[in-house]
Amino acid sequence: MKKFQFRSVVALANSKLSIKFAALLLSFSTLISALLGIFRDRLLNSLYLDTYPTGIDAYTAAFTVPDFMFFVLTSGALAVSFIPVFNQRLASGNKKSAWELSTSVLNLFALATLVTSILIMIFADPLIRYVVGPGLDESGTTLAINMMRVIAINPFLFSIATVLSSMQQAVGRFVFYSLAPALYNIGILVGIMVFTNGINIFGFQLFEGGIMGVALGVVFGAVLQVIVSLIGLFGLGFDYEFKIYWKNHGFRSVLKLLPARSLDQGIDYVSGIVNTNLSSRMGAGALRSYQQANTLHTMPVNLIGVAISTAFFPKMTEEVGEDNAEEFNDTFRKALRMIVWISLPVSVIAFFARGYVVNFIKNGGDPVIASILGALVLAIFAQSVFHIASRGFYARQDTKTPFIVSIVAIGLSMILSVLFTMWGFGPDGLGWAQSIGAVLEMFILLGILNRRSKNKLFNKTFLKGTWHMILASVVTGVVAYIMTKFLPLLATDNSFLATFPKFLIISAVSLTTYLAASYLMDLEEVVPIFNWVSRVLFRNIPEQKTDKTD
């Protein structure tokens, strides 16, 4: 009976979802993961940022190369090149080719990342000393090397989970895919709260504990991601073989599409490595401060840009496959408008309430992190839009154009990072460089996409709606500024309970203002919200009936 119930629940979770429900699910799961991430960082910062800045810098630096290799070899590069080709095979009814493609991609990337993980373990010493952490002292360098060797297994584990989840995304399954980020953070939290105290089994001390326990938690979180991705395959009919079908045309198509997107991902992350290198030279704690601000700015990007574009991407690939340009344009505009409408007020509130936000991850806040976050606010909006703009190309199996644009934008960002550091801008300069590059990349991609569209992609209705969104955001910014003066951060606001109510009130008033302004400007995105509020408020009020008499 329990086995039957488990299968029933898994089968229900693996059913195909509509775009709207998928977008809501992914946004909600990303929010849960972000909240867990805030709790994770709050614990880490309270334990180490003030008392052991060298250790927390070492932990942060240890992630850089393993994450870089995962992003280059797998990550979104695989998803955007694999899903369109996989969808074509399924749409044509050629399941045999689809499974050969899937098993080939899984085996190739598992082998490639396994070799990569081993190489990272071997060369961890020079990677830390000369690439990502040259500014660390000797104790921090040694700790970072040891941590990197532990975390090095993650590219291998992540690649398996990514291939499995990409198959599920392609057929409209998002439930177990959406659980993976939260489980990853749960694994790290286990490392912070359990493994740092040491691991003792039947009286044998297997691990003494300390900050190295957090690295073990990172690996544990990656293992949890693999497990939940495997559960998501239930009922899909995946026919796995330990074999690579080199002659499979779909597999060859993926390999052709992959290099440009992989290099695009790699160039983007090279910028992160450059900034990690530069921030490690700015004194103890600077590296962690920059990483924390970068993490905070990434949360809304994932919550809005990644979640919404991921939900819309399979439909966009289907419409391209059916050569339906008009439907593709409508879907793209709808996704882009939704992202712009949500990300604008979030960026505005993040700027004016950045000090309150930083209090969530560190008691008493941190002026350095808050200042860097302020510089990264433009990147919140631009990178959210980037995710749907780039998928406009990926749906057409064009990975080269976003790659070329990234070379220009990220190249400028890295040059500015070095110049701003030389000119004494400190960690803030790294944030401004990233924002400028992100805005440039967004405008170039949208411009090229509009130019290549068969029909006009950005019509008058779209441009008018976007202008109204900007005006509504300006009004929201004025209200947010006034609210921060009305509810200022005090020296005594050094706890979550003291800060969160103020942030909640500021956000609620600002967002209410934005919704009201959107309604007055006839923005279609606000209509479902007002309809829902109306149903909730007036659902128990009986309709008045009038008798009609002659």
| DSSP string covering 331-355 | HHHHHHHHHHHHHHHHHHHHHHTHH
Q: Among the listed ranges 12-16, 36-40, 235-239, 545-549, which one has the minimum average pLDDT value?
A: 545-549
Cα 200 from Cα 280, distance rounded (Å): 35
Torsional sign, CA 494, 495, 498, 504: positive
Cα 309 from Cα 332, distance rounded (Å): 9
CA 189 to chain CA mean position, Å? 19
Angle between helices 249-279 and 400-422 (to 10 degrees): 10
Which pLDDT does position 382 carry in this prediction? Answer: 97
Which residues lie across from 199 on neighbouring strands? 207
Closest by CA to 190, choosing from 360, 40, 295, 53, is 40
Q: Examine the pLDDT at 233 and tell me if it is beyond 90.
A: no
Look at 509 and 525; give whichever has higher pLDDT: 509
Torsional sign, CA 383, 406, 58, 192: positive
Q: Examine the pLDDT at 78 and tell me if it is beyond 70.
A: no
Which pLDDT does position 12 carry in this prediction? Answer: 53
Which pLDDT does position 91 carry in this prediction? Answer: 72
| Mean pLDDT score, 280-301 | 89
DSSP 236: S
Look at 400 and 539; give whichever has higher pLDDT: 400
Confidence class for position 90, pLDDT limits 50, 70, 90:
confident
CA 452 to chain CA mean position, Å? 28
Q: Examine the pLDDT at 126 and tell me if it is beyond 50.
A: yes
| Mean pLDDT score, 427-438 | 95
Q: Examine the pLDDT at 147 and tell me if it is beyond 90.
A: yes
Specify the residue for token string 């790699």. 266
Where are the extended beta strands (E) located within 109-209? Answer: 199-201, 204-207
Confidence class for position 167, pLDDT limits 50, 70, 90:
confident
Look at 518 and 539; give whichever has higher pLDDT: 518
Confidence class for position 107, pLDDT limits 50, 70, 90:
very high
| Mean pLDDT score, 408-415 | 93
Cα 516 from Cα 510, distance rounded (Å): 10
**Cβ atoms 218, 37 nearer than 8 A:** no
Residue 56, token pair as written in the block = 């927390």
| Mean pLDDT score, 393-422 | 90
Closest by CA to 37, choosing from 359, 296, 380, is 296
The one-letter code for the residue type at 272 is G
Q: Examine the pLDDT at 296 and tell me if it is beyond 80.
A: yes
Residue 9, token pair as written in the block = 């629940």
Confidence class for position 318, pLDDT limits 50, 70, 90:
confident
Confidence class for position 548, pLDDT limits 50, 70, 90:
very low
Cα 279 from Cα 274, distance rounded (Å): 9
Q: Examine the pLDDT at 550 and tell me if it is beyond 50.
A: no
In this structure, the number of other CB atoms found within 10 A of the CB of residue 253 comes to: 19
Which pLDDT does position 203 carry in this prediction? Answer: 60
The one-letter code for the residue type at 464 is K
Which pLDDT does position 509 carry in this prediction? Answer: 97
Which pLDDT does position 1 carry in this prediction? Answer: 46
Q: How far is CA 269 from CA 68, 128, 190, 262, 413, in A?
A: 6, 16, 27, 11, 12
Q: What is the mean pLDDT of the chain?
A: 85
Closest by CA to 230, choosing from 327, 155, 313, 165, is 165
Confidence class for position 534, pLDDT limits 50, 70, 90:
low
Ranges of H-type helices in 353-426: 354-361, 367-375, 377-394, 400-422
Residue 514, token pair as written in the block = 């934005």
Which pLDDT does position 383 carry in this prediction? Answer: 95
Which pLDDT does position 226 carry in this prediction? Answer: 92
Q: Examine the pLDDT at 431 and tell me if it is beyond 70.
A: yes
How do residues 358-378 score in pLDDT, each as one tens digit? Answer: 998 888 888 999 999 999 999
Look at 86 and 116; give whichever has higher pLDDT: 116
The one-letter code for the residue type at 540 is N
| Mean pLDDT score, 34-50 | 85
**Cβ atoms 436, 416 nearer than 8 A:** yes
Q: Examine the pLDDT at 546 and tell me if it is beyond 60.
A: no
Radius of gyration for the chain, computed over Cα atoms and rounded to the nearest angstrom: 24
Residue 186, token pair as written in the block = 């749960």
Burial class (CB in 10 A: 0-12, 13-18, 19+), 110: middle
Closest by CA to 53, choosing from 355, 291, 364, 220, is 291
Q: Examine the pLDDT at 487 and tell me if it is beyond 60.
A: yes
Q: Between β-strands 204-207 and 199-201, what pairing exists: parallel, antiparallel or unpaired? A: antiparallel
- Domain limits, the chain: 22-273, 285-526
Which pLDDT does position 395 carry in this prediction? Answer: 87
211: CB partners within 8 A, 6+ apart:
48, 52, 55, 56, 58, 59, 143, 147, 196
Residue 549, token pair as written in the block = 């008499």
Cα 139 from Cα 207, distance rounded (Å): 20
Look at 333 and 93; give whichever has higher pLDDT: 333
Q: Give the 3-state secondary structure of residue 207.
A: strand
Which pLDDT does position 7 carry in this prediction? Answer: 55
Residue 51, token pair as written in the block = 């008392």
Which pLDDT does position 518 carry in this prediction? Answer: 94
Cα 438 from Cα 329, distance rounded (Å): 23
Q: Examine the pLDDT at 60 and tell me if it is beyond 80.
A: yes
Which pLDDT does position 494 carry in this prediction? Answer: 77
Cα 167 from Cα 173, distance rounded (Å): 9
Q: Among the listed ranges 40-54, 251-265, 389-403, 483-497, which one has the minimum average pLDDT value?
A: 251-265
In this structure, the number of other CB atoms found within 10 A of the CB of residue 133 comes to: 27
Cα 49 from Cα 43, distance rounded (Å): 10
Q: Examine the pLDDT at 264 and tell me if it is beyond 50.
A: yes
Q: What is the DSSP string of 245-264?
A: -TT-HHHHHHHHHHHHHHHH
45-54, 101-110, 434-443, 525-534: which has the highest mean pLDDT?
A: 434-443
| Mean pLDDT score, 17-40 | 78
Which pLDDT does position 471 carry in this prediction? Answer: 97
Which pLDDT does position 31 carry in this prediction? Answer: 81
| Mean pLDDT score, 409-431 | 93
Look at 470 and 94; give whichever has higher pLDDT: 470
285 dihedral zone (left: phi>0; alpha: psi -120 to 50; beta): left
| Mean pLDDT score, 468-486 | 96
| Mean pLDDT score, 457-475 | 93
**Cβ atoms 405, 432 nearer than 8 A:** no
Closest by CA to 158, choosing from 229, 98, 101, is 229
